[in-house]
């Protein structure tokens, strides 16, 4: 499942964009993740060779930061805000409801690869708590009971676009 074909040229282009600077490793990994929606193993090996940085260090950085994922993620990434204001205003309830609706734990991806559920450390819209971000859309003042409908909208969109 985790196999994707890595284009050597793509990786090289990304590395060249930063002139192979070792200090740009984080930005380079961000670009690679943008390309493949996660960090494929082969891409990391290739990066290590191209940048002449030990694979162990590439791995260290990829696993240290929360925004990197070593496993493929779903088509839609749902981020539940775990900021203090959201916690106080019912964020944990949203999280449980999402876990129940999607039948996965936070940090996992649904079997059909539609959704990945993650917790995020404060999105900085504390005034709109509790919030959930799906892809780049922020849902403000979200109520638990609105969750099934919102998820259904994404599923419907998918069915309408007729993709497999």
Is residue 124 close enough to count as binding another protein by CB under 8 A?
yes
- Say how far apart CA 88 and CA 9 lie, in whole Å: 48
- For residue 7, what is the DSSP state? P
- Give the angle 55-59-63 at the CA atoms, nearest 5°: 175
What is the smallest separation between the CB atom of 70 and another protein, expressed in angstroms? Answer: 13
Q: Assess 49 for contact with another protein (CB under 8 A).
A: no
Instruction: Please answer whether residues 18 and 27 qualify as being in contact, where contact means their C-beta atoms are separated by less than 8 angstroms.
Output: yes
Exactly one of 11, 78, 82, 147 binds another protein (CB under 8 A); that residue is: 82
Least separation in angstroms between residue 55's CB and another protein is: 14
Backbone angles phi, psi at 30, to 5 degrees: -65, -40
Q: Is 131 in the site for another protein (CB under 8 A)?
A: yes
Among 84, 100, 152, 156, binds another protein (CB under 8 A): 84
């Amino acid at each position: 499942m985790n196999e994707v074909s890595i284009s050597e040229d793509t990786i090289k282009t990304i590395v060249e964009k930063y002139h192979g600077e070792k200090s740009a490793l984080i930005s380079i990994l961000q670009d690679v993740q943008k390309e493949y929606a996660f960090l494929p193993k082969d891409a990391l090996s290739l990066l290590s060779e191209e940048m002449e940085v030990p694979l162990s260090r590439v791995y260290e950085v990829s696993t240290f930061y929360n925004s990197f994922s070593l496993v493929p993620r779903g088509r839609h990434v749902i981020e539940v805000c775990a900021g203090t204001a959201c916690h106080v205003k019912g964020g944990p309830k949203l999280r449980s409801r999402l876990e129940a609706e999607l039948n996965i734990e936070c940090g996992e991806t649904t079997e059909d690869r539609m959704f990945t559920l993650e917790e995020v450390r404060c999105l900085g819209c504390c005034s709109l708590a509790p919030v959930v971000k799906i892809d780049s859309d922020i849902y403000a003042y979200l109520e638990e009971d609105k969750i099934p409908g919102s998820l259904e909208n994404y599923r419907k969109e998918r069915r309408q676009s007729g993709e497999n």
